[in-house]
């Protein structure tokens, strides 16, 4: 197909996706909200929260797993109705969820409002941001574009953390939730109008190789797989389990980082959440660029091993009675960086292995690993902390799993190489 007369909206769609994710990334600020709830429980009195301490992470954990499984439905919606409708639905659900919890301190209401409504809304908004952006660009930019779009989600805490701290101090938790609900309803729904797929058979500039557009279409057809087909492959389950490990280990720290920092930084602990956001966003972009050059699996293995080392390094730092604020900030930033790499590498791997035609639902299914990992690891972390009084056992458990994940990535590397060879053979036959 000729692209004559077609306005390339790739960068507009990309930055609209970044903006949507900048709003939805409020999920990563849960540790600040959790601190406010814990303070309310301790203070007691009329209108105070009355939860069990071991259940403080439950709305966050439920949100993670609902977000992940909502990605399947959202991905199917995105593939069928397009990103604009899907993102619009996401904005409405997130806004309603926050507005609801602003009216109550009830545990079940928060689990449903933040955990379910906000979780589904984030799933719909997040799933609609990356696929249309990738479709406007050639394969050589897959890592870069995926990294840029999802960087917004990681970078969100940079502004939401200090904003949350200010709102909590001035207006309290309930009013803060109302503010966020109204703001995100407006922002996500407005930016959703800028999301659009390219015309059918559109060939991104730079994608045409030796035999022209026909070869690009042939190459794409070689990799297109349905959701039911990919779930029958060993590659899918290996990819899923590695994602479970990488995401779960990162979310375990992100969900509790403000509480971990409280001992050495006091009321300034919220700053660690904001600083971690820089690493989180940077990891997504840098890993995307690096993976375009040395391969997704090689990049992933390096990051998993580095994350394992950081988990073990956390044990003496967090266990020290006089933990250095600088060491804590550095560890949080690097853990955020490594965690962020997952969010650009796994959508890129999904697209590389199984194509763009069913990318929405395919990545939705792969992304369930993120939710299950976040739910399991954050829940285990909170239980271990409640039982032992420290996070040391959580770090040991996460570090060991990350080493196992790095080993499994070696088998993904073989699958990635085989996939590339199939593409090359297909291109030679088409030529």
Separation of alpha carbons 17 and 133, rounded Å = 8
pLDDT at 181: 94
- Domain around 255: 10-198+226-430
Residue 61 lies in a domain: yes
- Among 19-28, 191-200, 256-265, 410-419, the minimum mean pLDDT is found in 256-265
Which DSSP symbol is given to 209? Answer: B
Residue 206 lies in a domain: no
What CATH number did the domain enclosing 183 receive?
Answer: 1.20.1250.20
pLDDT at 213: 40
| Higher pLDDT, residue 189 or 64 | 189
pLDDT at 386 over 80: no
pLDDT at 320 over 70: no
Residue 342, phi then psi, degrees to nearest 5: -60, -40
Instruction: Write the pLDDT tens digit of every residue in 105-159.
Output: 999 999 999 999 999 999 999 999 988 998 888 888 888 998 899 888 888 878 8
pLDDT at 431: 39
Structurally, how many domains does the chain consist of? Answer: 1
Between the alpha carbon of residue 276 and those of residues 55, 114, 122, 289, 334, the distances in Å are: 24, 22, 20, 20, 8
Residue 208 lies in a domain: no
- Mean of the per-residue pLDDT values for the chain? 82
pLDDT at 98: 95
CA atoms within 13 Å, Cβ hemisphere of 278:
9
Q: In this prediction, what percent of the chain has a pLDDT beyond 70? A: 82
Rounded average pLDDT over 189-204: 88
Residue 161 lies in a domain: yes
Separation of alpha carbons 16 and 238, rounded Å = 32
Rounded average pLDDT over 390-401: 82
Its pTM stands at 0.78
Residue 215 lies in a domain: no
Residue 107 lies in a domain: yes
Rounded average pLDDT over 257-275: 63
Instruction: Write the pLDDT tens digit of every residue in 12-49.
Output: 999 999 999 999 988 878 878 888 898 898 888 777 88
Residue 123 lies in a domain: yes
pLDDT at 165: 85
Buried b (16+ CB within 10 A) or exposed e, 156-172: bbbebbbbbbebbeeee
Rounded average pLDDT over 82-96: 95
Residue 4 lies in a domain: no
């Amino acid at each position: 197909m000729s692209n004559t007369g077609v306005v390339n909206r790739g960068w507009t769609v990309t930055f609209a996706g970044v903006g949507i994710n900048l709003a939805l990334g409020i999920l990563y600020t849960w540790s600040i909200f959790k601190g406010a709830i814990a303070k309310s429980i301790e203070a007691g009195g009329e209108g105070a929260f009355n939860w069990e301490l071991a259940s403080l992470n439950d709305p966050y954990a439920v949100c993670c797993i609902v977000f992940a499984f909502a990605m399947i439905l959202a991905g199917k919606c995105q593939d069928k109705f397009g990103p604009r409708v899907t993102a619009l639905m996401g904005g409405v659900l997130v806004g309603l969820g926050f507005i609801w919890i602003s009216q109550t301190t009830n545990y079940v209401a928060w689990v449903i409002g933040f955990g379910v409504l906000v979780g589904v809304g984030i799933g719909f908004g997040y799933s609609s941001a990356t696929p249309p952006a990738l479709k406007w660009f050639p394969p050589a930019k897959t890592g870069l574009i995926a990294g840029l779009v999802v960087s917004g989600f990681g970078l969100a805490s940079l502004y939401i953390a200090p904003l949350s701290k200010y709102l909590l101090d001035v207006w309290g938790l309930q009013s803060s939730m109302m503010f966020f609900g109204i703001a995100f309803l407006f922002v996500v729904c407005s930016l959703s109008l800028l999301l659009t797929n390219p015309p059918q058979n559109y060939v991104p500039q730079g994608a045409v190789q030796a035999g022209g557009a026909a070869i690009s279409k042939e190459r794409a057809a070689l990799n297109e797989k349905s959701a039911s087909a990919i779930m029958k492959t060993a590659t899918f389950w290996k990819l899923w389990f590695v994602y479970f490990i990488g995401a779960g280990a990162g979310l375990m720290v992100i969900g509790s980082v403000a509480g971990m920092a409280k001992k050495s930084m006091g009321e300034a602990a919220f700053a660690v959440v904001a600083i971690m956001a820089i690493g989180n966003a940077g990891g997504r972009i840098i890993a995307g660029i690096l993976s375009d050059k040395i391969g997704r699996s090689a990049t992933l293995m390096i990051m998993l091993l580095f994350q394992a080392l950081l988990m073990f390094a956390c044990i003496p730092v967090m266990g020290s009675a006089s933990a250095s604020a600088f060491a804590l900030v550095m560890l949080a930033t690097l853990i955020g960086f490594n965690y962020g790499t997952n969010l650009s590498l796994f959508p890129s791997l999904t697209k590389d292995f199984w194509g763009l035609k069913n990318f929405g639902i395919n990545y939705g299914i792969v992304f369930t690993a993120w939710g299950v990992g976040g739910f399991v690891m954050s829940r285990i972390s909170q239980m271990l902390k409640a039982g032992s009084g420290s996070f040391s056992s959580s770090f040991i458990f996460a570090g060991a799993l990350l080493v196992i994940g790095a080993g499994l990535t070696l088998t993904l590397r073989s699958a990635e190489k085989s996939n590339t060879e199939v593409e090359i053979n297909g291109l030679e036959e088409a030529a």
